[in-house]
A and B are shown apart, each in its own frame.
Chain A
Amino acid sequence: MSDEGRILRFQIFRYNPQKKGDKPRMVTYEVTEAPGMTIFIALNDIRENQDPSLQFDFICRAGICGSCGMVINGAPDLACRTLTSKFEDGEITLLPLPGFELIGDLSVNTGKFMRGMSERVESWIHDPDADKVNYNELEERMDPDIMEEVYELERCVECGCCISACATKRMRPDFLSAVGFMRLARFHLDPRDKRTDEEFYEILGDDDGVFGCMTLLGCEDYCPKDLPHQTQIAFLRRKMALVK
């Protein structure tokens, strides 16, 4: 590999709101690239060898858990599965995801937002009988194709990239956002959820819901799990327009 051992230049947003007097700034770090290096590996290298105070979140380091969303050279993405070799000039700028409460440096509180979203869309099966089900009996049969489609919508990892890419969210802080739409689409499709369209409308049917969406589709462009935002948002809009 020709670029082996080149020097990468990271420009990283630094700010610790916990520390009195600290101010937001960009700091440059240099790291010698290794083969197969990801941003996860590089950031740990910086933390261990240059600045132990640098904050960021990684958990699975395999593109599965959704903790490591950050803005990488302008685009929100999962940092753990971004190879440094992708950046030809070796310049990498890292910013925390906008739209979330900042914990420090590259770490943001997506968890708090996502729990709020789940509570708001009531992200669970609504069926008064779900807890009375006799689990000794055969389970309720489900159409194999529908279950596959539900899974497609459930692949969201709550990384928050779609939210950072959404212009509407920036203007309307209470905008439900793509992640919420996808969650609702998932439950709307699931025959086990007994909610009616009217009930979904209660959650979705205003300008903080699907009617506020400008369908610019930043969400779909940046979703690392390739969720079908466009078709689902359009579907929800049509459905909700029929309710009233």
Chain B
Amino acid sequence: MNIIYTDSLVIGGGLAGLRVAIAAKQRGYESIILSLMPAKRSHSAAAQGGMQASLGACIKGDGDDEDVHFADTVKGSDWGCDQDVARMFVNTSPKAIRQLSAWGVPWSRVRGGDRDVIINGEKVTITEKHDAHGLITARDFGGTKKWRTCYTSDGTGHTMLYAMDNKAIELNIPVHERKEAIALIHDDGVCHGAVVRDLITGELSAYIAKATTIATGGYGRLYSVSTNAIICEGIGAAIALETGVATLGNMEAVQFHPTAIVPVGILTTEGCRGDGGLLLDKDGYRFMPDYEPDKKELASRDVVSRRMTEHMRKGKGVPSRYGDHLWLDITLLGRQHIEKNLREVKEICEYFLGIDPVKEYIPVRPTQHYSMGGVRTQATGESPTLQGLFSCGEAACWDMHGFNRLGGNSVAETVVAGMIVGEYVADHCAKKSLNVSTTVIEHFMNRETDKIGALLTREYGENPFQLKAEMQKIMMDKVGIFRNGPDLEAAVEELKLLNQRAKKVALRNKISSSNPELVEAIRVPKMIKLAQCVAYGAMLRTESRGAHAREDYPERNDRDWLKRTLTTWKDDDADLPEISYEDLDIMKMEMPPGSRGYGVDNTVHHPDTEKRVAQIEEIKKANPTADRHEMQELLNPLEIPEKFKGRNERIGRGYN
């Protein structure tokens, strides 16, 4: 039996995983990173748009700070997020971006003086402050009050990932590439590591660690059309689910991005609209102002995606052989801007659509994009039910996004959570010793060996590629942007059947080493289970919140549904997961539920909301001299590692 020991095992070499490993290593703990492929190819590289951090250096970000970022994030989440976590996040994000700057990310910088920008379809000249020249600049993104999304032209994720992986290489952190974690090793409520398959030789090894972190990214590929990389299959979340002990949070919270190209679903960044691009219908008419007069194209993502779908349902979509779509018009930004700041978009249009976006409109449609749900963790990143298991990044439900995440808040989450969770991982390594019996390791190794053996010997059975395609179609058709009871019930039933069939997969290519069909056969049953968590959670949640939009329950219902969905799968033979709920306590909220300011507000309020609003008024009255930092401590005291407690400096404003 091949066993590898380390202090901190990190499953996933994207931004989140790399940052956790760096934190542990800098504190003196050995870390090993596992990745399906070279870390620099992780999906984080695809983030074009930017990272939110309230630096407030560019003129349109003037007046920005943690509080404004916090309010945007909580509103964006439709009050579904954990406000303690959102607070930790907004306070730490400026530190994270500045650290990345020191580590080499070539963030785009403020250029003092006049420049022309497009705002609301018009050319406007804005004047950047000369004393901000050379500081990190920012662009506009949906759902934010200020221009807060910092960027590197349109290669933000790429440059962040390269800097982060380079840092890991500098620290000599090993990345074991082409390795797939296929099961967690645990007993007695403690996680000890993972069973890992080598994707080249097919060998299984046990990686044993004091702390195991799942940073495997999202589960977008449960859907047939997604902006996600094809490896975003949710396997990390699935192996946590399969422990029967760890819980998943808010799996039904799935975001659709307004502007992926038709038909292949490759993303054109929100930066297109942030920089002034418009959405047009088949008549060339700009329709968003009719629906959202205030934020227009830059309303929150979930809102824009729904408005686009509504508009297409009114017959205003552009018909094509791949179904209806709308137009994204960036021609008004001009060649120079597009070739510099939106070049990846231009390349994508040229290579995949054969069009020049400087002159032509881009065909777009809302498409699956982001997984708010994932491995449920506490604010420390540790699973509340499985000790020693941590998670962060898109794989986690740390829960700063609730039911809808803002553009730019995700790569920000990966690096901020990576910093914070990494400290807690290091604390955990300091406290614990490696303590696991070989019998336990053997048990899990044998179980996985037997499963693979069964796959390789079964003569006849189901085709894993086909099962996956069927699952993806069910999710697309019945668990999409707009959801309703009958469709969701049908999806839940159909997925149950698929789950049964997935137990009888047989292979045509019966070799145990490098074998793409075997990889698929190992993953597909796990993916179907995750799909069931999403569909079942969506069926039970009889309200609309953020990206979860029920046509039969259009109102946000705080009275009955201000809670987080928790999913476990205790009995492997069961044909459905178990779902329970965790209340969000309004009486502890820094920002009690209110209206997001889109469309009509039909919220069913919770009785505590009024109480908490009154209580906050009292606290404010009782502390008339408290500044914003003191007020935050009173309303939402933070537990965060000491090193992240400092205040953030801003140009023209100091540390206030």
Contact = CB atoms under 8 A, between A and B. Distances in A.
A110 B43 CA distance: 17
Interface stretch (B98-106, B184-192, B386-394): B98-106
Given A125-B103, A139-B136, A147 B515 contact: no
B108 A144 contact: yes
Interface string B481-524: 00000000000000000000000000111010111110000000
Given A61-B230, A142-B134, A144-B109, A119 B169 contact: yes
Contacts of A53: 509, 511, 515-517
A206 interface: no
Q: Chain A CB within 10 Å — which of B170, B231, B321, B516 has the most?
A: B516
A244 B48 CA distance: 42
B135 A139 contact: yes
A36 B264 contact: yes
Interface string A129-154: 01101011111111110011011001
Contacts of B96: 135
B158 A155 contact: yes
Contacts of A54: 516
A48 interface: yes
Interface string A32-62: 0001101000000001100111110111111
A158 to B, nearest CB: 6
A154 B103 CA distance: 14
Given A53-B516, A115-B38, A151-B155, A142 B166 contact: no
A141 B133 contact: yes
Interface in A60-93: 60-67, 81, 83
A133 B230 CA distance: 37
A38 B261 CA distance: 15
B649 A52 contact: no
Interface string B30-43: 00000001101111
A139 B514 contact: no
A174 interface: no
Given A52-B509, A135-B95, A136-B646, A124 B166 contact: yes
Contact of A154 (B106, B646, B649): B106
A154 B104 CA distance: 11
Interface stretch (B344-352, B364-372, B631-639): B344-352
A111 B178 CA distance: 9
B348 A139 contact: no
Contact of B37 (A35, A52, A67): A67
B396 interface: no
Contacts of B267: 62
B511 A19 contact: yes
A170 interface: no
B229 interface: yes
B46 interface: yes
B647 interface: yes
B465 interface: yes
Given A60-B229, A135-B99, A151-B152, A81 B351 contact: yes
What size tier do the contact residues of chain A reach? 35 or more
A234 B535 CA distance: 58
A38 B166 CA distance: 32
A114 interface: yes
B104 A48 contact: no
A112 interface: yes
Interface of B: 26, 37-38, 40-43, 45-46, 94-99, 101-104, 106-111, 133-137, 152-153, 155, 158-159, 162, 165-167, 169-170, 175, 177-178, 200-202, 229-231, 263-264, 266-267, 321, 340, 344, 347-348, 351-352, 354, 465, 507-509, 511, 513-517, 646-651, 655
Contacts of A151: 106, 108, 152-153, 155, 159
Nearest to A85: B354
B212 to A, nearest CB: 23
Contacts of B348: 62-63
B45 A60 contact: yes
B230 A58 contact: yes
A118 B109 contact: no
Contacts of B178: 103, 111
Closest 7 CB pairs of A and B: A141-B134, A111-B38, A52-B517, A18-B513, A144-B109, A81-B351, A135-B95
A122 interface: yes
A57 B352 CA distance: 19
A139 B101 contact: yes
Contacts of A157: 45, 158
Contacts of A124: 103-104, 166-167, 169-170
Contact of A52 (B170, B202, B508): B508
A144 B134 contact: yes
A52 B507 contact: yes
A60 B539 CA distance: 31
A16 interface: yes
A137 B170 CA distance: 25
Contact of A136 (B508, B511, B647): B647
Given A111-B177, A125-B102, A136 B166 contact: no
Contacts of B97: 139
Interface of A: 16, 18-19, 35-36, 38, 47-48, 51-55, 57-67, 81, 83, 103-104, 107, 110-112, 114-115, 118-119, 122-125, 127, 130-131, 133, 135-144, 147-148, 150-151, 154-155, 157-158, 190, 192-193
A140 B230 CA distance: 38
13 contacts: A52-B515, A61-B264, A110-B38, A123-B169, A136-B647, A136-B655, A139-B101, A143-B109, A144-B108, A144-B109, A150-B106, A154-B162, A155-B155
A122 B42 CA distance: 21
A52 B455 CA distance: 14
A130 B170 CA distance: 12
A140 B517 contact: no
A103 B107 contact: no
Contacts of B43: 59-60, 65
Contacts of B200: 18, 103-104
Nearest to A112: B177
B86 to A, nearest CB: 20
Contact of B111 (A110, A119, A144): A144
Contacts of B175: 115
A59 B228 CA distance: 9
A103 B646 contact: no
Contact of A65 (B45, B166, B263): B45
A36 B45 contact: no
Nearest to A125: B104
A111 B37 CA distance: 7
A23 B266 CA distance: 37
Contacts of A136: 95, 98, 646-649, 655
A138 B129 CA distance: 15
A192 B104 contact: yes
Nearest to B648: A136
Given A60-B45, A137-B98, A139-B136, 4 more contacts: A18-B202, A115-B38, A118-B165, A125-B104
B45 A139 contact: no
Given A136-B95, A136-B647, A59 B37 contact: yes
Contacts of B165: 118
Given A52-B508, A60-B45, A141 B38 contact: no
